[in-house]
Amino acid sequence: MDAAEKDGTRKDTTKTMTEGSISEVNSLEDVIRDIDSGEINELAVVAEGEEKTTCVVMITLGQVIAYGIGAGFFHVKGGWRWMVGLGAVPAGVQIFFLFFLPESPRILVRRGDKGGAHRIMTKIYAHAKPEEVELKVKVLQAAVHQSIEITRNTTFLQRFRSMIFSPVNRRALIVGCGMQAFQQLCGFNTLMYYSATLFKEIGFDQPTAVGLIISGTNFIFTLVALKWIDKIGRRKIMVWSAPGMIVGLTLASIAFHFMTQKTGGNLIDGTEYSRAWSAIVLLSMIVFVASYATGLGNVPWQQGELFGLEVRGIGTSLSTATNWAGNLVIGSTYLSLMAAITPAGAFGFYAGLCLLGWLFVLCCFPETAGLSLEEVKMVFRAGFGIKESQRLRQAKQEIKDREKERKRDVRVETA
């Protein structure tokens, strides 16, 4: 094997290892985000949407770091070996800090250790007053007691039947599974898995570094979602961001169509393609990823808001299973789809799926931000409750406004 072939093999191996690192990060993120929201709520003084999105922010930061490492080792001899070895570093750090991780207050309450739960709550809510911490512990005790009673008085089969045959629960499940399917079938993870390969084929000399632009865009716009997801609401973010995904994928499809006319519609490695069309492909990917990160990358993981306590475990599990199933389908069919219907056809197909997902959001996805579990149940009693959720949120906001006015009047009278 001559030097050029060896260099090409080494770079392809390093590129493949970079894609493998990103694949592992994407797989781990599903596990992390699927942790029961009830326990995570105890560990942060943030709104539900911000809590989940903060987790996604850290995951996307990990993806940026993984791509950065891949780009750094792209021209290093045996770089893929370093990349494999470096994967042990964060695992080692995590093992070390596990020794200092306190037990969940929920588990302590289940064990009857109210004092231990109170001590952990005091550390978590460091700025809360003692009576506020005590109230939180009492609320937690009530929730744990209710959870135990549900488990004791109903079987798994009964709860599963309720999930499927109760109209309220079934509609919530359709929304949860539908949003998770939309997240995967839009094709985002194929871009994260194969972006380095794709950018190499369309002529970029540093494909891993270009992939870093994509992962960086994902990280930056996830930060945007962190700021606005609770203020704007889940539904509005989805309604506004999904069209951006459609535009980005459609633009990519058009660019691939004109770019590959001289190669029969297919990408052939080693072919020199138009720099202008390559730049348009990159721009379209940035638009797609920015739109995805703002909405679809975060909103489906608010799925815990959809289900009542008695079926939450089953509902979130089925929704997450839908996510994994979609991931499997998209990840395993991407290369075959590109070969069968050309890159232009594949990205046009993903754009069509995004259009269907957007229509699903418009017709079936109610606003859940700021609503309690009981209020979400009310939303799903009469269909998918788009208007009902808006009515409830408006009524709650009017009550809050009147309460603010009352307090302001009291302060004025006191003064």
pLDDT value at 58 more than 70 = yes
Task: Tell which wins on pLDDT, 49 or 330.
Answer: 330
Q: How many CB atoms lie within 10 A of CB 290?
A: 20
In the DSSP assignment, the letter for residue 4 is: H
For the chain, give the mean pLDDT.
Answer: 83
Q: Which of 242, 263, 260, 262 lies closest to 252, judged by CA? A: 260
**In which residue are the tokens 């549900």 written?**
150
pLDDT value at 18 more than 60 = no
| Cβ atoms of residues 214 and 194 within 8 Å | no
Calculate the alpha carbon distances from 179 to 135, 176, 245, 301, 347 in Å. Answer: 35, 5, 15, 9, 20
| Ranges assigned E (strand) in 181-273 | none
- Mean pLDDT, residues 268-280 taken together: 88
**pLDDT on residue 6:** 40
Take residue 36 and report the two structure tokens written for it. 């029961």
Full DSSP string of 29-82? HHHHHTS-HHHHHTT-SS-HHHHHHHHHHHHHHHHHHHHHHHHHTTTSTTHHHH
Q: Which pLDDT tens digit goes with each residue over 112-137?
A: 898 999 999 898 888 888 888 888 88
Task: Tell which wins on pLDDT, 318 or 411.
Answer: 318
**pLDDT on residue 22:** 47
**pLDDT on residue 394:** 85
Q: Where are the domains of the chain?
A: 3-101+154-384
CA terminus-to-terminus distance, the chain: 88
Q: Which pLDDT tens digit goes with each residue over 321-351?
A: 999 999 999 989 998 999 999 999 999 999 9
**224 Cβ neighbours under 8 A, 6+ residues apart:** 293, 294
- Mean pLDDT, residues 354-372 taken together: 92
pLDDT value at 30 more than 70 = no
Q: How many CB atoms lie within 10 A of CB 24?
A: 13
Task: Tell which wins on pLDDT, 387 or 79.
Answer: 387
- Mean pLDDT, residues 369-386 taken together: 84
Task: Tell which wins on pLDDT, 49 or 66.
Answer: 66
**pLDDT on residue 124:** 82
| Cβ atoms of residues 307 and 161 within 8 Å | no
- Mean pLDDT, residues 248-255 taken together: 96
Tallying the residues shown for the chain, one arrives at 415
**In which residue are the tokens 């995004």 written?**
354
Question: Nearest 5 degrees, angle CA 272-CA 337-CA 20?
Answer: 75
pLDDT value at 283 more than 90 = yes
Take residue 248 and report the two structure tokens written for it. 């980005």
pLDDT value at 23 more than 60 = no
Take residue 49 and report the two structure tokens written for it. 């949407």
Q: Which pLDDT tens digit goes with each residue over 59-108?
A: 888 888 887 887 787 777 877 788 888 889 989 999 999 998 888 888 89
Task: Tell which wins on pLDDT, 134 or 411.
Answer: 134
Confidence band, pLDDT 50/70/90 cuts, at residue 405? confident
Q: What percent of the chain has pLDDT over 70?
A: 87
Q: Which pLDDT tens digit goes with each residue over 207-221?
A: 888 888 998 999 999
**pLDDT on residue 415:** 66
**pLDDT on residue 288:** 97
Q: Which of 298, 307, 303 lies closest to 376, judged by CA? A: 307
Distance in angstroms (rounded) separating the CA atoms of residues 329 and 414: 65
| Cβ atoms of residues 243 and 293 within 8 Å | no
Domain 3-101+154-384, CATH among 1.20.1250.20, 3.40.640.10, 1.10.10.10, 3.90.550.10 = 1.20.1250.20
Distance in angstroms (rounded) separating the CA atoms of residues 310 and 300: 20
**pLDDT on residue 2:** 41
pLDDT value at 239 more than 80 = yes
**pTM of the predicted structure, to 2 decimals:** 0.79
Q: Which pLDDT tens digit goes with each residue over 136-164?
A: 888 888 888 888 888 888 889 999 999 99
Question: Nearest 5 degrees, angle CA 243-CA 247-CA 250?
Answer: 135
pLDDT value at 38 more than 60 = no
pLDDT value at 8 more than 80 = no
